[in-house]
Amino acid sequence: MKAYLMIALAAAVASGCAKARVVDAYEEGIEGADDEVGRDSDGPDEAGARSDDSPAGDDDGESRADGDGDGRNSDDARADDDSRARDDGEDPRQDTPDRTYTYYADVKPIIDAKCTTCHFEGGIAPMPLTDYDEVEVWLDLIGHDVRNDIMPPWTADMPMDFFLGDRRLTDNQKDIVLSWVDQGGTAGDPDDAPDPIEPAPRGLERVDLSVPMPEAYEPQIDPDDYRCFVLEWPLDETKFITGLSIEPDKTDIVHHAIVYHVQPEGAEAARARDAEEEGQGYTCFGASGADAAWLQSYEPGGYGQGIPGGLGFEVRPGSVMVLQIHYNTLNGSSADQSRIDFTLEDSVDRVGDVVLFARPTWFAGFMPIPAGEEDVMHFYRGRPVLTANDRRYEIFWVDLHMHALGSRGRIGIIRAGEPNVVEPLLVIPRWDFAWQETYLLSESVILEPGDELYLECHWDNTAANQITVNGEQLPPRDVNWGDGTTDEMCLGNVLAAPL
C-alpha cells in the first residue's frame, strides 16, 4: 500500500479556496449551514437551508461565531440540548415493564461487549470490569456515566453501526443498565447468563511479528521531543502487512506516533540519517526526514486494527520502518521503548493509499486561531494528491486529527452533481483529544470522478479550554498550525483504493 508525506499536500488542488454554500445531507434531510459559522443569511433557499458564499465565510477558510450565531449546526444543537437535559437530571430512558434486572442475566453481556475491550487488567481504562465484584464497586459511577453518555466513549455522531466497532449503547441497552443500577445492582444467578454479545473489535486479531525500538529512549528536549527511530525489517521474504498496531511503552509521554515504511532502495539513507546524531534515533520535527510512506498513526485513545477491504502494505526484504514518536514531557518524563505489532499475509487482493488532506496554506502559518476566541473554524475542500480526478476510489476508513483546543469537526464528500451539499463521512460534535481513533466504515463509500473531500475543524481558544501543565492552566495565546502539543492541527485521512 502506498502513502505519502503530509508536505506533499502542497500540491493539492487549489479549489480549497473556492467559495460555496455547504450544508449537510443527513438521513432526516438538509440542515442549515450558516448557523454553523455564525453568519447573517439571506433567508431559506430551495433546499430549506440558508444561503452563504462559503462554508467558512471567507477566502482563508476562517470564521468566528458572533451575534446570535453559535457556530453549531442543528445536529450539534440537538446533541447539546440532550446533554443539558441529562445534566439537569432528566433520565433519557423510555418507560419499560416493571421487572428486576440482574448482572448475570441482563448486564454482563452488555458490559462484556461494550466495556471490557478497555476495562480489563492492564488495559487503557483505570479499572477492570470483567466480573461482578469489579463492576459492583463502581455502580454509582457506571450509572452516572451511562446516563450522561460519558461511557462507553464514542465521539462520532453518525447513525448507529455506520462504523465498525460502534461502542455506543442502544436505547434498550442503556435502559437495562440504568434500571439495574437504580434497582441496586444485584448479581443474580450465573446460570442465567445468556449467550454473549459479540464485542466491538479493538486491536489486532493476531500478531505475527513484533518489532520494538532497539533500546529505551528518554526524551531529551522539553516539552516536545520529536524523535525518529529506524527499525530494521527482520524478514527475508516479501510479506503484506494486513494489520498494524503502534504499542506505546509509556502512554503518559507518547503524544502521538506514526510508522513509515522505507523501501529497500531508501533504507541506507534512513540509516545514514540515524547515524548523523548521537544516541538512539534522530530529531524529526514534522515529517520522518526519509523517503517514506505513511502506514498508520497512534493518537491517545487509539488502537491497532486490521487493514480493511482485502488491502495490504507490501514490504520487501531489506526495508526499514521509521517510527516517529512525539514525546511530550509537560507532566514528567521517563524512558520509553515502544514497539510495532504486525499481522502479515503472503498475498492480498489489492493495494491502496492512505490519503492525507488539509489546506496547503495552513502549513505556512495561515491557520490562525486567535487567543480568546470561542469558535474559530477553518475548512478545506478539494481533490487531494493520490486521487486522480477522473478515477473512482473506494474509501474504507476516515480519520480526523486536532490537538487540545479542538471543539468539533467533520469530514465529508462534496459530490460533483451537488456542489452545495456535504455528504458526511465523520461528524464529531464534541471533540475529545483523549479519544481519537481511525473509524472503519461498515460499508465502503465510493469517491466518484469530480467529487471533492471536505474537512472542517473548530477550536475554542478561550481561557476555560486551555490545557493544564503541572497543575496550572495555561493562559490563552494566539495559535497556528504546528506539531507541538500547544499548537494546533486540522488533518484528515482516508484509506482509499482505486476501482
Q: List residues bridging with 427 in a β-sheet.
A: 410
The yes or no reply on domain 209-351 and CATH 1.10.3720.10 is no
3-state SS string for 162-212: CECCCCCCCHHHHHHHHHHHHCCCCCCCHHHCCCCCCCCCCCCCCCCEEEE
User: What residues does each domain of the chain span?
Assistant: 2-64+354-498, 85-192, 209-351
Question: Between vectors from CA 297 to CA 302 and to CA 63, what angle results, nearest 5°?
Answer: 85
- Write the burial class of residue 278 (CB in 10 Å: 0-12 exposed, 13-18 middle, 19+ buried): exposed
Residues 6+ apart with CB under 8 A from 489: 358, 401, 402, 403, 481, 482, 483
Burial 53-74 (b: 16+ CB within 10 A, else e): ebbbbeebbbbbbeeebebbbb
2-64+354-498 shares its CATH topology with 209-351: yes
Quote the cell numbers at residue 473: 492552566
Residues 6+ apart with CB under 8 A from 252: 331, 332, 334
What topology does CATH give the domain 2-64+354-498?
A: Jelly Rolls (2.60.120)
Whole-angstrom distance, CA of residue 328 vs CA of residue 325: 10
The SS3 call for residue 237 is: coil
6 DSSP 8-state letter: G
Residues 6+ apart with CB under 8 A from 28: none
Whole-angstrom distance, CA of residue 390 vs CA of residue 375: 37
Residue with cell 440537538: 78
- Mean pLDDT, contiguous 10-residue spans, the chain (499 residues): 36 30 31 31 28 37 37 38 38 57 95 86 80 96 95 92 90 96 96 77 86 95 89 97 93 86 94 92 76 80 81 94 90 91 94 88 97 98 88 94 95 95 97 84 96 98 90 94 88 91
Predicted model pTM: 0.72
Q: In 10 A of CB 256, how many CB atoms? A: 22
pLDDT of the residue at 167? 86
pLDDT of the residue at 293? 81
Quote the cell numbers at residue 136: 459492583
